[in-house]
C-alpha cells in the first residue's frame, strides 16, 4: 500500500515538472473566455504560476459572446474555450464542426446560490410574486435566444405546474437588465453572479430561490477543446487540463459556504483584479460549483439538448457521446489524485 502511494506521488511529480533543467520553452495555449466568475480557475492557475509549472504560456482572451468563442475554436485558432452549451453550439456541431467538451466549468449546487430566480423587489413586496407559479405572465430576461436558462425556465414551469409558454421571454444583455428592471420593463430573470449581488445591492430585486431546488446540478458551462488541439497537441492539451484542474482545486479550497473566504487573500487579490470587481462585492458573490476532477452532469446535458430539439431550435441531431471527451480529465486526475478539499 505504501509502495503504491509512493509510486503515484513520484509519477505525479514527473508529470508536473516539464521544465526540468530550464531547457524547455513554454508551450503557447490560447483560451477564449467570457470574462465571468466561472473563469476563476483559469485566472488562479495563471497568476499562481500553475500553468507555467505545467510548461504552458496561457493567453486568456476575453470575448463578449459564446458565438465568438465557438467559431475560432472550430478552426483551431483558439485551442480551448469556456462557455455554455447553447443552441448555437449544437447547430455548429450539426454543420460538421468538430469540438470537444472536456471538463466541467460550472454547475448549480445546493451549496451555492450562484444561479437564482431573481424577481423585481416591488413585485415581491406587493405580493405579486411569492412562488414559482407566480412566474405566469411575468416578463423574464435572458441574455440571448437559445441559452440554457430557457431550459432552466422550462424546469421551473414544470415544478410550478404552469406551462413554459406562460412566461414571457425578453432577450437583452445583462448590462441592460438593470435599467429594464428599474423602469419596470422587465419583471425578473434567472440570474447568475455577479449580476445578482449587484442588482440586490442596488435595491432593484431579490433572490427568491436557488435554481438547484427545481433543477439539480444543471450543467451551466464547460471547457471546450478544438479538435486540432486535442489531436495534434495531445500532450499540451493534457498539461492544460492538469493546470485547469489545479486551478479549480485552488478555487474550491478558497470557498466556504458558497463564497470566497476572506482568509483566502491570494485568491481574492487575483480575482478582484482579473474580474474587475471590488473586494467587498467579490466577498458577497456566490461562486459556481465546479468539479475539481472535471466530471460533468450528463443527465443535465441530455435534458437541455432534448428541450432545444423539442423546440425546433437545434436543426440537426447531435450525438453527445461523440462530443464529450473526458479522457484528458481522467488522465489528469490519475496524475494528480482525486480532489480532497484542503483543511482550513
Tens-digit pLDDT profile for residues 332-342: 999 999 999 88
Q: Report in angstroms the alpha-carbon separations of 37 from 61, 236, 248, 268, 294.
A: 15, 25, 12, 12, 17
pLDDT band for position 68 (cuts 50, 70, 90): confident
C-alpha cell of 47? 497568476
**What pLDDT digit, counting tens, does each position of 130-175 carry?**
999 999 999 999 988 899 999 999 999 999 999 999 999 999 988 8
Q: What pLDDT is attached to residue 66? A: 67
The whole-angstrom separation of Cα 191 and Cα 108 is: 12
pLDDT band for position 18 (cuts 50, 70, 90): very low
* CA count, 13 A, side-chain hemisphere, 257: 4
Neighbours of 254 (CB within 10 A): 23
| Structural domains of the chain sorted by starting position, each given as residue range(s) with its CATH number in brackets | 2-108+218-336 (3.40.190.10), 115-213 (3.40.190.10)
Residue 26's SS3 state is coil
The whole-angstrom separation of Cα 324 and Cα 232 is: 18
pTM for the full predicted model: 0.88
**What pLDDT digit, counting tens, does each position of 226-236 carry?**
999 999 999 99
Of residues 240 and 144, which shows the higher confidence score? 240
The whole-angstrom separation of Cα 31 and Cα 77 is: 10
C-alpha cell of 173? 444583455
CA end-to-end distance (rounded Å), the chain: 27
pLDDT band for position 5 (cuts 50, 70, 90): very low
The whole-angstrom separation of Cα 177 and Cα 103 is: 30
The candidate with the shortest Cα–Cα distance to 15, out of 236, 313, 214, is 236
Describe the strand order of the beta sheet including 219-226 as a list of residue ranges. Answer: 56-62, 27-33, 80-83, 219-226, 99-107
Residues 87-112 have a mean pLDDT of 92
The candidate with the shortest Cα–Cα distance to 286, out of 196, 155, 213, is 196
Q: What pLDDT is attached to residue 16? A: 47
| Contact status, residue 161 vs residue 179, Cβ threshold 8 Å | no
| Structural element, H or E, at residue 182 | helix 174-182
β-strand 168-171 against 188-192: which pairing, if any?
unpaired
Place of cell 414571457: 168
Q: What pLDDT is attached to residue 20? A: 42
Of residues 171 and 10, which shows the higher confidence score? 171
Residues 217-233 have a mean pLDDT of 96
Of residues 251 and 35, which shows the higher confidence score? 251
Amino acid at each position: 500500500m505504501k509502495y503504491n502511494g509512493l509510486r503515484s506521488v513520484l509519477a505525479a511529480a514527473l508529470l508536473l515538472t516539464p521544465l526540468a533543467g530550464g531547457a524547455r520553452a513554454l508551450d503557447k495555449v490560447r483560451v477564449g473566455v467570457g470574462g465571468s466568475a466561472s473563469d476563476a480557475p483559469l485566472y488562479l492557475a495563471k497568476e499562481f504560476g500553475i500553468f507555467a509549472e505545467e510548461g504552458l504560456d496561457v493567453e486568456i482572451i476575453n470575448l463578449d459572446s459564446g458565438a465568438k468563442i465557438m467559431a475560432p475554436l472550430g478552426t483551431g485558432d483558439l485551442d480551448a474555450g469556456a462557455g455554455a452549451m447553447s443552441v448555437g453550439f449544437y447547430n455548429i456541431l450539426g454543420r460538421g464542426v468538430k469540438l470537444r467538451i472536456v471538463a466541467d466549468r460550472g454547475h448549480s449546487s445546493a451549496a451555492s446560490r450562484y444561479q437564482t430566480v431573481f424577481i423585481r423587489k416591488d413585485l415581491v413586496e406587493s405580493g405579486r410574486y411569492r412562488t414559482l407559479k407566480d412566474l405566469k405572465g411575468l416578463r423574464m430576461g435572458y441574455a440571448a435566444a437559445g441559452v440554457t436558462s430557457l431550459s432552466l425556465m422550462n424546469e421551473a414551469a414544470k415544478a410550478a405546474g404552469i406551462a413554459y409558454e406562460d412566461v414571457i421571454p425578453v432577450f437583452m444583455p445583462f448590462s441592460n437588465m438593470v435599467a429594464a428592471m428599474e423602469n419596470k420593463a422587465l419583471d425578473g430573470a434567472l440570474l447568475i453572479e455577479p449580476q445578482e449581488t449587484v442588482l440586490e445591492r442596488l435595491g432593484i430585486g431579490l433572490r427568491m430561490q436557488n435554481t438547484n431546488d427545481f433543477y439539480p446540478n444543471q450543467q451551466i458551462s464547460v471547457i471546450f477543446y478544438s479538435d486540432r488541439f486535442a489531436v495534434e497537441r495531445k500532450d499540451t492539451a493534457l498539461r492544460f487540463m492538469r493546470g485547469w484542474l489545479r486551478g479549480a482545486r485552488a478555487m474550491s479550497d478558497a470557498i466556504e459556504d458558497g463564497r470566497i473566504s476572506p482568509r483566502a487573500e491570494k485568491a481574492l487579490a487575483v480575482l478582484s483584479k482579473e474580474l474587475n470587481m471590488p473586494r467587498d462585492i467579490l466577498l458577497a458573490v456566490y461562486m459556481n460549483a465546479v468539479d475539481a476532477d472535471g466530471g460533468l452532469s450528463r443527465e443535465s446535458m441530455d435534458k437541455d439538448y432534448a428541450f432545444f430539439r423539442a423546440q425546433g431550435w437545434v436543426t440537426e441531431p447531435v450525438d453527445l457521446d461523440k462530443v464529450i471527451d473526458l479522457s484528458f480529465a481522467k488522465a489528469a486526475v490519475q496524475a494528480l489524485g482525486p480532489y480532497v478539499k484542503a483543511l482550513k
